[in-house]
Chains A and B, each alone.
Chain A
Amino acid sequence: MTRTGIIALLLYSMLPPAASAQVLLSGETAAQFYKSAVTQSPRAVNSGRPSFGWDTRLFIDGEVTDNVTALANIRATNTDAITFDYIAVRLTDLTPLGLNFQAGKFDLPFGNLGERRFPRKNLLYGLPSIYEYRMALPDHFSPGPDYRVIPEREILAGAGQGRGMRLLDLGMYHPGAMVFGSAGVLDYAFAVTTGTVSTSSYSSDNYNSDLGKVARLAVTPLTGLTIGGAYAWGAYMQAVYPIPGNDNLDSYTERAAEVDLEFSRGHAVLDGEAVYSTFGVPVTTGDQNLHVLGYYVEGKYTLIPRLYAALRVSGLEFGNVRSGGIEQQWDYNVVEWEGGLGYFVDKDVLLKAVRRETRILGGSGPKDNLTVVQLVVAY
């Protein structure tokens, strides 16, 4: 959408609402100073030069009736154009069981990232590596020089840099349709979308003939503890170049399973997630399945009013791929921790100081780090 179109939409949203409708505008803006190590690591930001950055998000919520709402998230950053991350129409309480439906572009019900994808609720600066780190299959495994097995994706550059594909593509916003609801302590969701959890689509056009499917169940056995699990499957490859000997992209699928946990009590909050995914790929020696396990554990403790400390450990462990009689990992394992302090200058003004250390367990650039001071304002 053009900038003019977005401005027109914003102006329209600020008009006095119709008699029964409400339109709420809210948002948040973050400004940060960051400095990463000078390395060849895909996690290096701006080649290690000290830099300032910003990002801003605008949330538009329209309540048409008690059961019909339209929601939109608009995002702009110093490295990206203006983007609609989320734009969906939601119908709620369709049945006595509380079934809900939404269609449009929305975040997939996979994992428990929730509002922590936004700077105001993100305890630290970056997202867990399973959401940001770009996995890449070495070029010599590719069937042809112009063909990238795991396609390059730089749609959301700025968070995780470099080439490759993320295990869970940042916020995982997709065009599609979804039903969700609750039954007692159980919550459920099922979504059909144009992409998979690793290949977010920012246009409505599908990359292949298949649809991504995601099913999720979560249970809250006691207050403060939610355990969830999800399964996603679908073709994930993009029809950019023909595949030698196989022109059926839909036969190469991603299958991902995850479990997650959220626990909180008193002044402590703990979140964790583990994802296991397989990708069917054509490599020079024939079709194979690539495996990867990703995880993170993240904790927060409020030390005194306004001040908290947070720590996250995340990582990726890769399976093997065979080529020419040699079997080796298809990418280097990664371990990353990110820790920091957050201070609420005011209820909606958060100052964070964060340090991230990344260890790529192999290759030539095993060490990387990032230091960030970020100021977030919500409104």
Chain B
Amino acid sequence: MPKSRPGNSVTSFILLHLAFTPLMIAQEAATTEKGASPSYAEIHGRISLSKRDDTHPANMRDQMFGMYSIHGGNGASSLIGSSPGTAGRLSERAVVYLESDDLNQGPYAPGTKSPSLDQKNLQFHPQVLPVMVGTRVEFPNRDNLFHNVFSYSQAKEFDLGRYPKDDSRSVTFDRPGVVRVYCDIHSHMSATILVLKHPYFTSPDDSGVYVLSRVPPGRYKVVLWYDRDPVERKSVEVKAGEDLQLDFTNQGRE
């Protein structure tokens, strides 16, 4: 076995460190642990979207033919109307993230674990998925029928074709932007993947509480994204060690 030279070890260590430090930041920033470390700030708050319709019924037009498995609807009738309504949960439909040119400079590395956008009960779960550039996203089919996931968005074009239950396909998102995802068979199904350049994003829990941890000091716009669009932006300036409370009530709806 060849012996490694000391110089190589040091170089490897530095390279590894450079490679993994952003990853660690990304992972830590994505956690929701309470309290800001002295060098960083934390932004947290509650999202209240009382005026929004949180129900997400399957499109009746799809039902018109979907219930016609008699017309080759591929068994959709057994699922229509059976959705437990998870797609109405705030945790699946809202994302809070930071906007700043400084943050976009990076470098950051995506996490090693691939997030997934499930197809279940004729809906995508979650409906909004934030990821970093370079992230590979899995698209598992949890329904006992075919879906055909596709996107024609500029940030990523793909067409995964049809595959059965518990099978999955994956896509790596290598450009920042908004990726609209649809099902070619069930036209009411849609989801959005936010491909961000940085790891400063989070999803709230079902009660609307969100936490953005390990935020570097600076000036940002904090964006609330709901379903298909940004619905509110707030400008903030945070200092090291600051614990900033920032609620969204959608009063400043875009």
Chain A residues within 8 Å of B, Cβ to Cβ: 22, 24, 26, 59, 61, 63, 66, 69, 71, 92-93, 98, 100, 107, 109, 111-115, 180-182, 185, 187-189, 216, 218, 220, 222-224, 226, 228, 260, 262, 264-267, 269, 271, 302, 304-306, 344, 346-347
Given A220-B75, A223-B164, A347-B152, the answer on whether A61 and B70 have CB atoms closer than 8 Å is no
Q: How far is the CA of A71 from the CA of B68 in the complex (A)?
A: 14
Q: How far is the CA of A63 from the CA of B182 in the complex (A)?
A: 23
Interface pair A260/B161, CB less than 8 Å apart: no
Q: How far is the CA of A304 from the CA of B69 in the complex (A)?
A: 28
Chain B residues with CB below 8 A from A180, complex form: 67-68, 70
Can you list the 9 inter-chain pairs with the closest CB atoms, starting with the nearest? A112-B72, A61-B60, A114-B71, A262-B72, A187-B69, A305-B159, A266-B161, A267-B161, A223-B164
Chain B residues within 8 Å of A, Cβ to Cβ: 57, 59-61, 63-65, 67-75, 77-78, 81, 144-146, 150-152, 157-159, 161-165, 180, 182
Q: How far is the CA of A181 from the CA of B145 in the complex (A)?
A: 17
Interface pair B72/A271, CB less than 8 Å apart: yes
Q: How far is the CA of A275 from the CA of B85 in the complex (A)?
A: 41
Chain A residues with CB below 8 A from B72, complex form: 112, 114, 218, 226, 228, 260, 262, 271
Name the one of B70, B157, B163 contacting A218, with C-beta atoms under 8 angstroms: B70
Interface pair A92/B81, CB less than 8 Å apart: yes
Interface pair B77/A181, CB less than 8 Å apart: yes
Q: How far is the CA of A113 from the CA of B65 in the complex (A)?
A: 10
Interface pair A63/B57, CB less than 8 Å apart: yes
Q: How far is the CA of A55 from the CA of B33 in the complex (A)?
A: 58
Name the one of B70, B144, B159, B161 contacting A223, with C-beta atoms under 8 angstroms: B144
Name the one of B61, B144, B158, B164 contacting A59, with C-beta atoms under 8 angstroms: B61
Given A182-B78, A305-B158, A344-B152, the answer on whether A223 and B146 have CB atoms closer than 8 Å is yes
Q: How far is the CA of A224 from the CA of B75 in the complex (A)?
A: 9
Q: How far is the CA of A26 from the CA of B65 in the complex (A)?
A: 15
Where chain A touches its partner, the secondary structure class is strand
Interface pair A63/B162, CB less than 8 Å apart: no
List 9 A–B pairs whose Cβ atoms lie within 8 Å, in order of A's numbering.
A61-B64, A98-B78, A111-B71, A114-B71, A182-B78, A218-B72, A223-B75, A224-B164, A266-B162
Interface pair B81/A93, CB less than 8 Å apart: yes
Give A226's nearest chain B residue, CB to CB. B72
Chain B residues with CB below 8 A from A223, complex form: 74-75, 144-146, 164-165
Give B190's nearest chain A residue, CB to CB. A347
Chain A residues with CB below 8 A from B165, complex form: 223
Other contacts beyond A218-B69, A267-B162, A306-B157: 7, CB < 8 A: A22-B60, A24-B59, A59-B61, A180-B67, A226-B69, A305-B151, A306-B152
Chain A residues with CB below 8 A from B78, complex form: 98, 182
Given A24-B60, A71-B64, the answer on whether A305 and B152 have CB atoms closer than 8 Å is yes
What's the minimum C-beta distance from B77 to chain A, rounded to whole angstroms?
Answer: 4
What's the minimum C-beta distance from B48 to chain A, rounded to whole angstroms?
Answer: 22
What's the minimum C-beta distance from B12 to chain A, rounded to whole angstroms?
Answer: 40
Give B75's nearest chain A residue, CB to CB. A220
Q: How far is the CA of A265 from the CA of B147 in the complex (A)?
A: 10
Given A98-B77, A223-B146, the answer on whether A188 and B70 have CB atoms closer than 8 Å is yes
Give A67's nearest chain B residue, CB to CB. B81
